[in-house]
Chains A and B, each alone.
Chain A
Amino acid sequence: NAGVTQTPKFRILKIGQSMTLQCTQDMNHNYMYWYRQDPGMGLKLIYYSVGAGITDKGEVPNGYNVSRSTTEDFPLRLELAAPSQTSVYFCASSYEGPGPNYGYTFGSGTRLTVV
């Protein structure tokens, strides 16, 4: 059981470049999330999805886009990379949203540096 798989694990981008962070889960979870974690800080929600075809903004969505064409996949797109987007990105999933038995399952993270 793979859980939540993120790729790549590390990436260096130049300012203005674009990239897609991939996230796949095999637990048939309806809810998926993208968070970023800046050094020494907690996690902030970028975007989330409650099911295929449905996405919504979180706390810090500017500079990012997402899509959810299948239950399994929830890619995060950076169109014009900026140094402020240097961070560690975590994808997470849960079955019915935050609740008693369904806390988040996190991926291993993508460490992104924009230079």
Chain B
Amino acid sequence: ELKVEQNPLFLSMQEGKNYTIYCNYSTTSDRLYWYRQDPGKSLESLFVLLSNGAVKQEGRLMASLDTKARLSTLHITAAVHDLSATYFCAVDTPYTGNQFYFGTGTSLTVIP
């Protein structure tokens, strides 16, 4: 079974600070996805990473993928309160059919 682990599970950070969320997965894959979920809401797609070395940026968030290390990072630059949410990574491979395997999520709280 493909396993996806995120750390940290909980993150409290001050506005203006930088931090990185890590997503490790257990099998070969070059397809990784990041989602954001606000409390009580659905999941919103943030990034789709499809090759080793892929990097995507949107505002204060930047995601990267290292398929050799089976690792993706979500870097937060100069955090603002609006980034408070839970962030999930998900992985799929040609060997798992049409299934996404989700990490347990990182709950981010940005403190003013």
Report A's interface with B, CB cutoff 8 A.
31, 33, 35, 40-45, 48, 50, 56, 58-59, 90, 97-101, 103-109
Interface residues on B, range: 20 to 34
Supply 17 A–B pairs (Cβ within 8 Å), ascending by A: A33-B98, A35-B102, A40-B105, A41-B104, A42-B88, A42-B90, A42-B102, A42-B104, A43-B43, A43-B90, A50-B98, A98-B31, A98-B33, A98-B92, A98-B100, A99-B31, A106-B42
Q: Report how far A17 CA is from B105 CA in the complex, Å.
A: 31
Contact across chains for B42 and A108 when beta carbons are under 8 A apart: yes
Query: In terms of DSSP, what is the predominant structure of the interface of chain A?
Result: loop
Nearest CB in chain A to that of B9: its residue: A40
The reply to whether A103 and B105 form a contact with Cβ atoms under 8 Å apart is no
- Interface of B: prevailing SS: loop
Q: Let me know if A31 and B98 touch, CB within 8 A.
A: yes
Smallest Cβ-Cβ distance to B47: which chain A residue: A103
